[in-house]
Structure 1
Amino acid sequence: MTINKIYDSPAAAVADVPDGSSVSIAGFGMTHSFPTSLTVALREQGARRLCIVANSLGTGDYRSNTLIENHQVNRLIVSFSARAGEAKSAAEQQIEAGEITVELVPQGTLVERLRAGGAGIGAFFTRTGVGTAIAEGKEVRTIDGVDHILEYGLKVDYALIRAARADRFGNLQFTGVGRNFMPAFAKGAKVTVAEVDEIVDGTLDPEAIGVPGVFVDRVVRRTVEVPHDFPAPRAGRGADSARTYHGKPALTRRQMAELAAGLVPDGSYMNLGLGIPTLISNYVEGRDIVLHSENGVLGYGMIATREDYDPEVYNAGGQYVHLRPGASFFESVTSFEMVRGGRVGFVALGGFQVDGQANLANWSTPDMIGGGIGGAMDLVAGDTTVMVLMTHCDSAGRPKLVKDCDFPLTGLACVNIVVTDLGVLRWDGTRFALEYIAPGFTAEEVAALTELELDTSQVQWQS
């Protein structure tokens, strides 16, 4: 019999998904790389009591969140159940009401668990999440002098993924950062269904295949057209916005990013996380700094404009970016290998709190239902210099540099540098030393707006 994995429609491809199934649905951020046609078909098919495994749930009528809005889900295994500053989603409402249970998993651990499940590996130890809420109730083992937690391989009933093109053998090809979660999700499922833009007449070039057909059971052409969303900054959080302290303007987010870029030496590999750190990419042009993004790109640069962007090239914040010479694309498993394995020398992250023990909290606040771990726990678990960019105080005027974090921790004793809108602080092994002060402010003013006892004798420069 000739192998032919092509199905006539998305509806036919998900017709046999029964109630109570576990379904992994790929997709990055709020809008990117989601198998929208298959998700809509599953909504219309109506299977209930689903366990959805995903990085994020997305937004709108075409992404994973639509299944929750249709009350088809009773369990989530995700990296994001909520996002700071966003209106309460259907997922948060149903979690709060007890209709959905949620297990939050760091992004790198999620793809590694699915890869392991598909590879027949029962469990593995990882440094990611040690000392945080993620580690509660899990076995801890010290390996080479470092604590690791035990994580189990994850196998699901169905995976819904997306690719650029396929052939009848189920071989898949991707463009840009489109492969991100797809290989791991495909490997971790009993039945993998791929939605593609094009089904070729014949076969794909073997050298160009991103997922071999052995991992793919069904292929269907995309039927739901979803326009590309161009991300816009939220009100009051534009790159040129600035907070005011004691009646004086602090640094803008753009100035913070430029300042942070100047702290990184040429020849460095650097990961940029969500929020203010994404702006750093505008300040590496002409420098020998290679930027890494957890969604699977190495060697990108400036943020693109609405008039000049490639919808298949975006950063960890979902912003479209331009590539630089020497760029490469890869899947998420490989992406996190680069960081945890010590290949990426600098990581820049946003933060809610940093405390006097160099601990970081950046994924959940008291008003969030669950939270958004994303890849941050993986990013701080490697042998890397961690730089946190955040405003000195929150919108209510409360310090973000605190004696002890009272928000859930992202990592223990992991922060090396903090860049705020009032200055630069560097961890010396026992406390933070202030080495730069924003124009118009004094060391005493900066110190007074923290809960920490800062070393203010090390100030090196002030603009």
Structure 2
Amino acid sequence: MDKIVSSAADAIADIAPGAVVAIAGFGVPHRWPSTLVIALREAGTSDLTVVCNALGMGPLSPHILAENRQVSRLIAAFSTVAGMPSVAEEQIAAGQMAFELVPQGTLVERLRAAGAGIGAFYTRTGVGTPVADGKETREIDGVPYVLETALPVDVALIRARQADAAGNVAFAGASQNFAPSFARGASLTIVEADEIVPIGAIPPERVDLPGIFVDRVVASAVGSALTPQMMAAAQRQQAPIDQARSYLGRPGLSRELMALRTARLLRPGSYVNLGIGMPTLVGNFLFESDVTLHAENGILGYGASVDLEQADPDLYNAGGQLVTALPGASFFDSVAAFEMARGGHVDTVILGGFQVDAAGNLANWSTPQMAGGGVGGAMDLVAGGAELIVLMEHADRGGNPKVLRQCSYPLTGVGCVDVIVTDLALIRVTPGGLVLEEVAPGFTPQEVASLTDAPLIVPDTVPDMV
């Protein structure tokens, strides 16, 4: 059995116009099957439905297919990230690309189900949000669930560290992400490998994807090393450490101080997920703590972010930041990562937010300015019942309050928020309302209440933050 194909052009030659193509990869620069994507662009195959986490950015990502007007429909967890314009967003807004938003955990589970011969499944992810609109919902043991159908695809394009002629695959570090589930859900799976090795060179216990799920193997012609330009694009997804925002003519807390206060809320011995954007800064203050960090792309036990010169390109968190793997770390795919989250094994989740309201509802994936949006794994993360801390500025850039009586943006989760940390306050969500527990130095509780749309319960004594 020999599944090796001589060129990427030959490997993708029979992908027909109108095909549904799943392309694995994570973040902006990480582990795209770039040789195959470039070959598909050069073939000019049109009217594609692309299934992915996001289209990424730059000349090595599926972004180039949208740029070349080859994508008519996008099924993804992101069409954009707030503050980052994208070709996909432009085409969605112009009616040139259809868009179906699917939370990351639901996306990988739909592909996995297709490969397992399971037609549909019930999930708590998306209950009470626009993702559930038009879908069957059902109570099981008193808990509401949404019915999601399997998502079979025509072709999956994935990248691996090693593959052999039998199609056995080994991934590197935290780079499995969507690849195993995408391969299982496809009628035809094409693997681009950095190294093609003889059959038997990958020990059986090191095979991450058995050859039965793989149809073709081609050697990668594009290196996996991250360039400064690629990492600069990735870092633009992250919230910069900026100067403190001013309220009533005085500065609130800087983002670093907000992250420090949030880090102090974490319990020793807990498993914690940090959302993209500002929450990633919390990781900078956990060096001496007994906290284990979890990321949706498939790593448990990662450490501090590192510079490009010191980095392993296959060690990164869900925000695409290059990190270290601590002693005792483990790697897995996104299916397992979301089993940990939805199954209640993650203790605390820290997410950014556009809005939080008095009922503890969270909105953090779309604004009226977005044609699509970017939910990522947030809906899955809040569905598991973990403690949820929302880290965000007290007001948006227009000065509008973000802690509201009722969210006006599409919801990420219903009644899921436990604590809100802003640059002005620490607020706890309770059955009786929002309790103001701490205020930023230099501000009074009354001033914070005046800058908050939702009513606050103000104790007799409210200490300073940090």
TM-score of the superposed pair, with normalisation by structure 2: 0.96
Counterpart amino acid of 1:57? L
Shifted more, 249-258 versus 156-165: the winner is 249-258
341-350 or 425-434, larger mean C-alpha shift: 425-434
Quick check: 412-421 or 219-228, which moved more? 219-228
CA apart distance, 1:459? 5.2
Aligned position for 2:222: 224
Please, which of 329, 332, 337 is the counterpart of residue 330 of structure 1?
332
Query: What's the counterpart of residue 2 of structure 2?
Result: 4
Cα deviation digits, residues 44-85 of structure 1 (max 9, x gap) = 111111111111001112211111111111111111112110
Are residue 73 (structure 1) and residue 82 (structure 2) matched? no
Question: Could you tell me how far apart the structure 2 residues matched to 1:42 and 1:139 are?
Answer: 37
Written as runs of structure 1 = structure 2, the 5 A alignment for 1:419-438 is 419-438=421-440
The separation in 2 between residues aligned to 1:235 and 1:216, in whole angstroms, is 33
Q: Closer, same or farther in 2 for the Cα pair 1:92/1:431, shift >3 Å? A: same
Aligned to 1:174: 171
Partner of 2:60: 62
What is the CA-CA distance between 1:366 and the residue it aligns to? 0.7
Residues 90-239 of structure 1 correspond to what in structure 2 (within 5 A)? 90-203=87-200, 204-225=202-223, 227-228=225-226, 229-231=230-232, 234=236, 237-239=239-241
Q: Conserved in 1, the CA contact under 8 Å of 2:239 and 2:277? A: no
2:37 to 34, 39, 64: 39
Give the Å deviation of 1:306: 3.3
Tell me how far 1:233 sits from its aligned partner: 5.1
Structure 1 counterpart of 2:266: 264
Q: Who is 1:446 aligned against?
A: 448
Q: Percent of aligned pairs with the same residue?
A: 53
Quote the Cα distance in structure 1 between the aligned partners of 2:144 and 2:22.
30
What is the distance in 1 between the residues matched to 2:314 and 2:387?
29
- 1:108/1:378 contact within 8 Å kept: yes
For 2:454 and 2:16, how far apart are their aligned partners in 1? Answer: 55
Q: Which residue, out of 286, 308, 311, partners 2:310? A: 308
Gap change, CA 1:325 and 1:236, over 3 Å in 2: closer
**Which amino acid counterpart does residue 414 of structure 2 have in structure 1?**
L
Q: 1:17 to 1:318 in 2, by over 3 A?
A: same
TM-superposed deviation, 1:445: 1.2
Are 2:351 and 2:378, in contact at CA under 8 Å, matched by a contact in 1? yes
> 1:458/1:107 Cα in 2 relative to 1: closer, same or farther (>3 Å)?
farther
8 Å Cα contact 1:301/1:322 also seen in 2: yes
Moved more, 152-161 or 226-235: 226-235
Unaligned 5+ residue runs, structure 2?
A: none
Give the alignment's Cα RMSD to 1 decimal.
1.5
Q: Number of aligned pairs? A: 460
Name the CA shift for 1:44/1:387 in 2 (closer, same or farther; >3 Å): same
Question: Which secondary structure state, in structure 2, belongs to the residue aligned with residue 307 of structure 1?
Answer: helix
Gaps of at least 5 residues in structure 1 are none
Q: Secondary structure at the match of 2:457?
A: coil
Instruction: Give 4+ residue runs of structure 1 displaced > 4 Å after superposition.
Output: 232-237
Cα shift at 1:32: 1.0
Contact 1:435 1:458 in 2 (8 A): no
